[in-house]
Structure 1
Amino acid sequence: MPSARTIRLSGRTRKTVLLLHIVSAAAWFGIDLALGISLVTAMVTSDLRTAGVALQAVDMFAVWPMFAASLLCLTTGVVLGLSSKYGLIRFTWVTVKLIVNVGMSTLIYVALRPGIGEAATLGDRMLAGEPRPCPPTCSGR
């Protein structure tokens, strides 16, 4: 028998929320993977045009699509947790997933968002023909 704090979802609604949860988590993972590939490409390529395009691509999908996917994953996860026997804090693995999701969503907005504009500007400058900037560890400084 469900407790007073359990939301009761119909079978079709539960399946829809579960599908949204899985799709949003997969989209979040895919966007994160594409972000990593773009950044590694920009760092290792010797072609300034390729590096510039990779950095501009980061600006297009790094923050808002990834943040939206993380929030959708968080919301559907909370709904699923409240509507099932697992709850949000009854089992350790559910609690860990919740904490990781909240933490990573916060990091996207607080830590990743501010630096993306700089990366896009750097990509624009590289496409305009400026040389790649020397990193702080570079001996040319």
Structure 2
Amino acid sequence: MRRPPRTLTPRWRKLVLVVHVVSSLGWLGITLVNAVLTFTSVFTEDARRQHAAILMMDQIGGYLLVPVSLTALISGVVLSLGTKWGLIRYKWVAIKLVLTLIATGLTLFSLLPGLRELAAAAESTMDGVLVPSGRRVDGFYPIIVSSTMYLTMTVLSVYKPGGKTAYGRRVTA
């Protein structure tokens, strides 16, 4: 005989939801700040300003991206498991999970090492000299990709499209 799924109490659900929304918005906010800093790095003609922008990207990313992204991921998993939505019962939740895992993985294994490498280049470049790798417009790609993913996840959360997964239909039946 199957046990009924455990659900969060309304008080805990609201608390976890607040943590999830705040961490998700924080993740988006960090991305937008890095967009401004990337824009500055790529388009400024002032080497000191470029170095400062690059070093701030590393500081913000190095200290905030990992805890914020992991908080969004973990709180999302807790919410899905503690509510009627389940982790893979509905398509929109499963897609959000996959997108969040991809975004977290890209943050840990691509974005942060790239930021550290760029910061090292800025630190080793003489004062008054622009960092060539800080002038590359491909620095906008992570911002475009992550912002698109966050926007997609927001739309999925609001509209909840797609219905149940095959697993969700079996569990319900």
Which TM-score tier does this pair reach, normalised by the shorter chain? 0.7 to 0.9
AA in 1 matched with 2:53: A
Q: Are 2:101 and 1:110 aligned?
A: no
Superposed CA offset, 1:95-122 (max 9, x none):
1100000011011111112222221123
Shift of 1:79: 0.8
Corresponding position of 1:133: 132
Corresponding position of 1:31: 30
Q: Matched residues in 2 for 1:55 and 1:73: separation?
A: 25
Corresponding position of 2:44: 45
AA in 2 matched with 1:8: T
Which structure 1 segments of 5+ residues have no match?
Answer: 137-141
AA in 1 matched with 2:100: N
State the TM-score, normalizing by the size of structure 2.
0.70
Corresponding position of 2:166: none
Runs ≥4 residues deviating over 4 A:
none
Q: Matched residues in 2 for 1:123 and 1:48: separation?
A: 9
State the TM-score, normalizing by the size of structure 1.
0.84
Aligned length: 134
CA contact (8 A) 2:46 2:130 kept: no
Change (3 A) 1:127 1:53: farther
RMSD value, Cα: 2.1
Q: Matched residues in 2 for 1:114 and 1:132: separation?
A: 17
Q: Which one has the bigger helix percentage? A: 2
Q: Matched residues in 2 for 1:15 and 1:48: separation?
A: 47
Change (3 A) 1:13 1:128: same
AA in 2 matched with 1:74: L
